Structure formats: C-alpha cells, structure tokens
C-alpha cells in the first residue's frame, strides 16, 4: 500500500511554529507535493472540541490523568478520520504537534512516566510514527517572552518556567535518542536561517519520497 510522508513540527511556546509551518506549506506547494495540514490536539471537528476543552483556562483543576487521556482521545479521532486516510492516499501529512508533545508536556512537564506514555502510544497508534519530527528549539526565556507578548495565555502556556524547561529538555533528549527521526533546528537565529535549515530537512524528505516511488 502506498503511504505518504508524515512530518511533524514541534517546539516549546513562542518558538515560531506558526510562521514556519506556513513556510513549510509554501515550500511543498512550490514542489507540487500534495499534502494535508493538520494540528494536535485537534484536526477533526471532534478533536478540535477536545482541544478547546483542554486549553481553556478554567476554575476546576484538570487532573493530569484527564489531560493525558484527552490528548490521546483527540489523537485517536485524528488518526482514524484524518491522518491514516491521508497517508493511505499517498499524500503528505504536515502536523503541528503530535505524540512528542505528549512526551514533552505530560511526561516532562507533568511528570508522567515515559513508559506509560509509550504504552498509550502503542495502544492508540499501533505501528504508526512520523517519518520526521522537526523540533524548533530555543531557550525557554526567549519563547516565553514572545508568547507573553500575545494577548492571552492558554492553560498550558500559563505554566511556569521550570515546567517549560522540562518540556524543552524532553524534546532534546528524545531527539538525541533517535537522531534519524528528528531534526533539531535552532529557532533562536534569524528567521531566514531557520527557514534554510527547515528547507534542507524538507529537501531530504522529498528526495527520500522520490526514491521510494
């Protein structure tokens, strides 16, 4: 069965994910690559409703386990109704965040055991993993300053510096453990250089997908 390329963009708060995701989409369009863009949590109507439940600031304390399971519930819906069908059609799937964010935020940030998250990953995704995860990396203070300049902070953005430092560290540790599946890009450099680095990663994937045809 043909399968498209699954590319994920990750990073902490304020590292420039949106700008660079737009750049990636433009780049694939220029290369006439048929792709679908999506995001997590979210990507389908129901999964977007779960996203809204997760991110809104509320008086009731959200239990860490509730947060973890809702992330995977949204993901199960997204996989069934969008990710798997897209890849099965041979299209690329560009996703703003995926399970690495769960390892980083619920694992690193909230303190869940990585082994437990791995169990859920296998239960929900079976064998499916992204071909490549691009991590935009910047010191937490840099991203924090950018995120805080925005109008309002959601429930996750409102966590403290130490939480976001653990998030960053978890991304970097996972990337170091599986270097062939990750590209860590320094997001604390001029945008044109960030985009040159992203372009190199995309060129490699385009080449890879042409060779496997």
Residues that bind ligand TMP (CB under 6 A): 39-41, 71, 96-97, 101-102, 105-106, 156-157
Smallest gap, in angstroms, from Cβ of residue 25 to ligand TMP? 16
Least separation in angstroms between residue 59's CB and ligand TMP is 20
Give 159 or 188: the residue with its C-beta nearer to ligand TMP: 159
Q: Which of residues 23 and 209 has its CB atom nearest to ligand TMP in the complex?
A: 23
Q: Choose between 82 and 97: whose C-beta lies nearer to ligand TMP.
A: 97
Residue 36: CB atoms within 10 A of its CB come to 17
Q: Which is nearer to ligand TMP, 48 or 206 (CB)?
A: 48
List strands edge to edge, sheet with 92-96.
Answer: 35-39, 92-96, 6-11, 132-137, 182-186
Distance in Å, CB of 11 to ligand TMP, minimum = 8
Please state the closest distance from residue 178 (CB atom) to ligand TMP, in A: 18
Question: Which lies closer to ligand TMP via its Cβ, residue 41 or residue 130?
Answer: 41
Least distance to ligand TMP, CB of residue 22, Å: 14
Longest CA span, the chain: 53
**Minimum distance from CB of 132 to ligand TMP (Å)?**
17
Residue nearer to ligand TMP on the CB measure, 60 or 210: 60
| Ordered DSSP codes for the chain | -----EEEEEESTTS-HHHHHHHHHHHHHHTT--EEEEESS-SSHHHHHHHHHHHS--SSPPPHHHHHHHHHHHHHHHIIIIIHHHHHTT-EEEEE--HHHIIIIIIIIT---HHHHHHHHHHHHTT---SEEEEEE--HHHHHHHHHTSS---TTTTS-HHHHHHHHHHHHHHHHHSGGGEEEEE-SS-HHHHHHHHHHHHHHHHHHHHHT-
């Amino acid at each position: 069965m043909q399968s498209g390329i699954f590319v994920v963009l990750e990073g902490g708060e304020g590292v420039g994910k949106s700008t660079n995701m737009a750049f990636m989409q433009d780049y694939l369009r220029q290369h006439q690559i048929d792709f679908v863009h999506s995001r997590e949590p979210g990507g389908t109507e129901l999964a977007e409703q779960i996203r809204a439940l997760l991110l809104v600031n509320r008086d009731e304390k959200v239990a860490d386990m509730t947060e973890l399971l809702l992330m995977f519930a949204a993901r199960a819906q997204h996989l069934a109704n969008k990710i798997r069908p897209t890849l099965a059609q041979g299209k690329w799937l560009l996703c703003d965040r995926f399970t690495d964010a769960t390892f980083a935020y619920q694992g690193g940030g909230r303190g869940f055991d990585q082994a437990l998250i791995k169990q859920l990953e296998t239960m929900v995704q079976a064998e499916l993993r992204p071909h490549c995860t691009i991590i935009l990396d910047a010191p937490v203070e840099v991203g924090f300053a950018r995120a805080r300049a925005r109008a309002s902070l959601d429930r996750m953005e409102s966590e403290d510096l130490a939480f976001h430092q653990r998030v960053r560290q978890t991304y970097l540790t996972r990337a170091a453990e599986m270097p062939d599946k990750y590209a860590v890009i320094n997001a604390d450099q001029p945008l044109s250089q960030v985009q040159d680095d992203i372009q190199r990663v995309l060129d490699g994937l385009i080449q890879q997908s042409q060779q496997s045809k």
